[in-house]
Every structure is written in C-alpha cells, then in structure tokens.
Amino acid sequence: MRAEEYARSGDRTQALQTLRQLPLDDFGQVLLAVPEHYVALRDLLPRMADEQVQLNWTGSSGEVLLKQSTAFTKTLTGAYREFGNRDLERSDVLDFGCGWGRVLRLMLKYCEPERLFGVDPWTESIEICKKDGVLGNLAVSDYVPEQLPFTGTNFDLAYAFSVFTHLSERTSLKCLAALRARMADNALLVITIRPVEYWTIHAGWDKGYTPDQLIEAHHRSGYAFFPHNRPPIDDDITYGDASISLPYIEKRWMDWELVGIDHNDEDPYQVLLFLRPK
C-alpha cells in the first residue's frame, strides 16, 4: 500500500492524503483495525480504543459503533458541503465533547490534524485520546464552560454528537454561548438532540421519574431532563438525559438559526440539527 510506503519514509501528510482516497466506510475500517503488516501505519494512525472504553462511553462497540459513527460523519460532512462557508480541508473543525475520539478519528479523512480540535470536560476522555494517539489538538474544557480552549482559533465547523442529549437546560445554554463566541462568520454547528419519543425506550425508571412525567415536561416546556447521580455544579446537576423540542429551540436559542434537520436510521433517536450563528 502506498500509504504504508509514505508512512515508512516519515511523510505523514502524504500517507494521510493517500488514505483519504478511500471511501469513508473503508477509511473507518482501517482505523478500526490497522492490519499488523502495515507497521508504519500502525505507528502513525490512532489505536482503536479498548472495547470496554467504547461500551462505557457509548453503549456499543466495534462494527456496530463504527456504522453509527460513519453515518453521522457522512451527514455532518454533507451538511457542511450544503451550508458551510468553505472547503472542509481548509476549515478549522471542533469536536465538542469528543469523548475517546470516535468521530474525531474519522474526520482525518477530510482534514489535516492541525485543523482538528477536540474538547471534553472529562479529563479521562482526553487522556484516553492521547494514550491512543488520536491526531489533532486536544484539551479539557469546563463542565459548564464560560469559554472554550484554543484561544485565537475560531471554528468553521463545530459538532457535538450525543452531547446536548445529556445536558441540563442551564448547561446547554452555557455551552451554546461558549460555542457561539468562537464560531467564524457563516460557520456551521451540528448537534444531536433526543425527540420526545426517546422517553418511551429509556431505561432506569427507578430514579423517581416516569416516562409520562418526562413526556409531559417535554410538551409543557420543550425541555425534559432526567438527571444522573452526579454531584451538582452551582446547585445544578449538569449531566443526565434530555429531550428538546424544535419550538423550544426556535424560541430560546436566539443566537442561532436552524437551517436544517436530519436523522440516520443507524441511530434513530439522535436527531441532527444544523445551526448557523446569527
């Protein structure tokens, strides 16, 4: 493979450019398990996170998780081609809540590592990314951020996969404000939210909430939140499970324009929103 030859010569740029000729699904398969005889590529590319890490962070692993991740990435990049301001390879891209880097890895298909940025409030997530050799700029963010790391960089594309699906209302508004302050002109933000139907399949109703209560809260206020057993920050439990309605978004997210909506059959309870800063 030519990419292996470039990697052996120390030419990371050409090795990645050669791999980018692969379709995204094949690119993802290479990242899932680089063949052992491609020694130089195994040293260059990030190692796949341990199966238990994948399960703990996302509830699935391996091929199943890869299909979900590539489906999101295809929709993300397609939306940027439709709504974005510039070519993806010339864009600064932020993975907000990158976890162990499952989508950030796939974005190597489109961007040089220097243009990829990943933040997560959980120090362990960033430590795992670094341990596994995830390429890009990585930093720990605050759980309730007033501002983002990487001062001096404004982002052309930012995405948050399965992040706003877990935030309290106060935390989500803080995150949106921090993101808005660092978006470039005509940038695009892609996030996922849960629809109200999510509460009919949610497990763990031994915590004092019922589906009917959360469905009623969703219809009444547009935002339903099921807090997890976490210590509060400024009297607010920031993390749990959340559903958000479109009328709520149009009314409360005043700094953003909703320009598109989509979903993927691979993960039907993640509704994708495409937002532009006003």
pLDDT tens digit string along 188-223?
999 999 999 999 887 556 567 788 899 999 999 999
Q: Which residues pair with 118 in a beta bridge?
A: 95, 138
User: Domain check: are 80 and 161 in the same one?
Assistant: yes
CA distance 69 to 29: 12
* Mean pLDDT of the region 56-62: 92
Taking alpha carbons only, the member of 9, 8, 6, 10 closest to residue 20 is 6
pLDDT at residue 204, as a whole number: 58
The greatest distance separating any two alpha carbons of the chain, rounded to the nearest whole angstrom, comes to 61
Report helix, strand or coil for 193.
strand
Residue 175 has pLDDT above 90, yes or no: yes
- Residue in the structure block whose two tokens are 């006003």: 278
Same domain, 99 and 9: no
pLDDT class of 130 with cuts at 50, 70, 90: very high
Count, residues in the chain: 278
Instruction: Reply yes or no on whether the pLDDT at 229 is more than 90.
Output: no
Residue 125 and residue 75 share a domain: yes
Domain, as residue range, for 175? 50-277
Q: Are 272 and 209 members of one domain?
A: yes
Helix (H) or strand (E) segment spanning residue 44: helix 39-44
**pLDDT over 70 percentage in the chain:** 98
Residues 6+ apart with CB under 8 A from 47: 132, 133
Query: Do 67 and 124 belong together in one domain?
Result: yes
Distance CA(276)–CA(278), nearest Å, equals: 6
Mean pLDDT to the nearest integer, 92-114? 97
What pLDDT sits at residue 206?
58
Same domain, 133 and 235: yes
Residue 267 pLDDT level (bands cut at 50, 70, 90): confident
pLDDT number for residue 86: 82
Same domain? 211 vs 259: yes
Question: Are 4 and 110 contained in the same domain?
Answer: no
Same domain, 70 and 185: yes
CATH of the domain at 214: 3.40.50.150
Report the domain count for the chain. Answer: 2
| Confidence (pLDDT) at 18 | 97
Same domain, 100 and 235: yes
What's the whole-model pTM score?
0.95
The predicted model gives 20-29 an average pLDDT of: 97
Q: Are residues 194 and 62 in the same domain?
A: yes
Looking at the fold, whether 15 and 104 belong to one and the same domain comes out as no
